[in-house]
Amino acid sequence: MQKSIERVTGDSEGVSYEFPVFRFAGAVKAAPSAYLQAALHAGELPGVVAIDALMPMLNKAEAEGRIKGDITIVPWANPIGRAQYHFGEHLGRFHLGTRTNFNRAFPLLAAPDTALLPDTTHGTPDQRLKTRLLELSLGHDIVLDLHCDDEGLAYLYVHTSLWPAMADCAAAMGVDGVLLWSEDTDGTFEGASIMPYQNVPATMAKLDRRVATTVEYRGMLDVEGDYAASDAEGLYRLLVARGVVTDTALPAPGPFKGIVAPLENIDMMPSPRAGAVLYDVKPGDRVAKGARLATIVHTPGEAGGRTEVFAPQAGIILTRRSRRIIRTGEDLLKLVGDRKSGDARSGTLED
């Protein structure tokens, strides 16, 4: 394993940001390669500790000559966001300088060619970071972007062109659900990883062996040793299943038995009032149409001071917000409905 340090220059003299990159050299040139990164939203840490738990497995595999394909790992993908604190509160989702989500505005290339990357010499630090992360990932057969939600199940975002070929990956990782999407106009990292392969010849795209996904590892507070170990085992099983690492002790993944739904089936449930949220449901619950999901306490102690929110259709609760204070119009949860949502959203679900 080799370690290098990437540096991103800031927007004023004397300011720069650093992040480490770990590389394992594969022994077989034709074997699939993999790129893993975590904490693009700098406060989302379940993927960071999962990579920490994965590294000893990869070091052991390397020592035993079992790494067949190249592996590149970026455990802390966003040093800019890591440094952002405001009045003691860490703010790692948006770049404070541009007010842009760190997982938006990645270059959407017409082909997987680094020559098409934009020149960010005079760009902002977050633009330089995004361009470099995409450059590091281009050319890999497997690209995993490890995130987490507020409170939720473990699930994947997968482009429709990669499903059901990626079902073995979902099974290997042990996630609870898969959300299928087909449009990205916002430039997410996942979109920037798969869109270059949509308009190239099939012999170059190799969609049957390609993996590109955003991994949502439950919630912000699920940073625990047991979760880290099980998530690392899932990542390792994926690498073995796809031939990046050899491990004859591991059986092939079985069929994926979790939730699979198009993005259009998601109801985000915007809050009708501002106030305190009392939830009736938690991630994983199955609800019927009309079931009460939450109560908003907006004028406490007064008659009519509560507003109830009900399920618009039957489905499964995928996530809910971790903070119990809410503004009017903010989303309460993700309900994976049995059919298309009446408020279906294309592209990204939230900013």
- Strand-pair category, 94-95 with 100-101: antiparallel
pLDDT for residue 345: 78
Is it the case that residue 78 has pLDDT exceeding 80? yes
Q: What is the distance between the alpha carbons of residues 181 and 158, in angstroms, rounded to a whole number?
A: 6
- What is the pLDDT at residue 344? 85
In angstroms, rounded to a whole number, what is the distance separating the alpha carbons of residues 36 and 20? 12
Query: In sequence order, which residues have a C-beta less than 8 Å from that of residue 226 and are 6 or more positions away?
Result: none
- Give percent of the chain above pLDDT 70: 100
Q: Are 59 and 163 in contact (CB under 8 A)?
A: no
The mean predicted confidence, pLDDT, of the chain is 97
Tokens of 273: 């009032």
Domain ranges of the chain: 2-257, 264-337
Measuring CA to CA, how many Å separate 2 from each of 119, 132, 215, 243, 320? 28, 18, 25, 21, 40
| Contact of 293 with 277, CB cutoff 8 Å | no
Assess if CATH 3.40.630.10 describes domain 2-257: yes
Topology, domain 264-337 = OB fold (Dihydrolipoamide Acetyltransferase, E2P) (2.40.50)
Q: List, for residues 140-182, the tens digit of each pLDDT value.
A: 999 999 999 999 999 999 999 999 999 999 999 999 999 999 9
**Does residue 300 have a cis peptide bond before it, meaning omega lies within 30 degrees of 0?**
no
Nearest to 144 by CA among 68, 63, 46: 46
Q: Render pLDDT for 216-264 as a digit per residue (tens, 0 to 9).
A: 999 999 999 999 999 999 999 999 999 999 999 999 999 999 999 999 9
Residue 52, pLDDT > 80, answer yes
Side chain identity at 137, as an amino acid letter? S
Q: What percentage of residues in the chain have a pLDDT greater than 90?
A: 97
d(CA 151, CA 174): 17
Instruction: Please give the average per-residue pLDDT across 83-110, as a whole number.
Output: 97
What b/e string do you get for 70-102 counting C-beta neighbours within 10 Å, with b at 16 or more? Answer: bbbbbbbbbbbbbebeeeeeeebbbbeeeebbb
Sign, CA torsion 192/198/236/349? positive
